[in-house]
Amino acid sequence: MDILIDTLIDNLKLFPFLFITYLCLEYMEHKTSDKTAEIIKKAGWSGPLIGSLCGALPQCGFSVAAANFFAARLIGIGTLLAIFLSTSDEMLPIMLSAAVPPLVITKILLYKASCGIVFGYAVGFIWHKYHKYREINIEELCRNENCHCEDSVVKPALHHSLRITAFIFVFTLILNYSMSYLDISAVTAYMQIPLAGELISGIIGLIPNCSSSVILTQLYMDDFIPFGALISGSLVNGGVGLLVLFRVNRRLRENLLITAALYVCGVIGGLLTHLIF
């Protein structure tokens, strides 16, 4: 019952982000002219910078919005990765409630945002060098969800939001139930080893659920894992953003490449802490 209630609360908190996101997408599909679409494309260079700053805010609402915007081709992969890497999910609220020194929290948030900016621009540059630019296509997202967007703006936005929320609820309920039986103590000894800790933590961070960020944050505060391992897992974890990406973006190969890039960037970011701090 506790797992069910926690999952329901998490989804209720996520729903407003989804609804606002789809309201924006529906409005843009109905009202935006070709000129506005052109402005969005031209402003793309600043995406990773803005995205990393937005993603630094707590909770995973921005990563969910980013997944939808990427599927509609409103943002590029650099901006998407910047948001995923900087998203703190449950880490920030837990640290604040545990009275972690503000200097430590600020250091973590600034480092995550910096990684989002650097890796976002780097991956974006490499990606667009070998992949042709895809035009903005909100209609494709709507067709995939069968939302009848011609009816209005509010109705299809609500339809999108309810479908995605239901999908996330079922998936996270299964994950939360599974995570309640996970004994992480068996691998914490290996997570103390440089490189191994970052690799393992990155795998845990890939779990598209707030439970992974809760586990990693608590392990760090209890001195079971080093700072580098925390950063690696925290960078990789974007809440349920990755889950939503696989749901709304029908290009599986593209999703897998993004997941691989996210993992590699997270591990590298964790390893660099040994040199920087």
Low-confidence ranges of the chain (pLDDT < 70): 25-26, 28-44, 57-61, 89, 131-152, 179, 182-185
The token pair at 55 is 């993603």
**Reduced to 3 states, what is the DSSP secondary structure of residue 241?**
helix
**Which of 229, 188, 171 minimizes the C-alpha distance to 205?**
229
Q: Residue 142: its pLDDT value, please?
A: 61
- Spatial separation of the C-alpha atoms in residues 63 and 43, rounded to whole Å: 20
- Sorted by sequence, the CB contacts under 8 Å of residue 67 that are 6+ apart come out as 80, 241, 242, 244, 245, 248, 249
**Buried-state track 91-128, b at ≥16 Cβ within 10 A, e below 16:** bbbbbeeeebeeeeeebbbebbbebbbbbbbebbeebe
Q: Residue 135: its pLDDT value, please?
A: 61
pTM reported for the whole predicted model: 0.80
- Identify the DSSP state of 203: H
**Which of 69, 92, 85 minimizes the C-alpha distance to 118?**
85
Q: Residue 235: its pLDDT value, please?
A: 95
Whether residue 86 contacts residue 238, with contact meaning beta carbons closer than 8 Å, is answered with: no
Q: Residue 205: its pLDDT value, please?
A: 92
Whether residue 136 contacts residue 74, with contact meaning beta carbons closer than 8 Å, is answered with: yes
**Cα dist from 246 to 118, 185, 214, 216, 258, whole Å:** 24, 30, 23, 24, 10
Q: Residue 81: its pLDDT value, please?
A: 94
**Which of 109, 115, 108 minimizes the C-alpha distance to 56?**
109
Bridge partners (DSSP) of residue 59 are: 89
The token pair at 32 is 């935006």
- Spatial separation of the C-alpha atoms in residues 44 and 48, rounded to whole Å: 8
- Spatial separation of the C-alpha atoms in residues 78 and 119, rounded to whole Å: 8
**Tokens 């945002």, residue?**
113
**Cα dist from 149 to 137, 152, 163, whole Å:** 13, 6, 14
The token pair at 229 is 């391992």
Q: Residue 201: its pLDDT value, please?
A: 94
- Identify the DSSP state of 137: -
For the chain, what are the domain ranges?
2-276
- Identify the DSSP state of 89: B
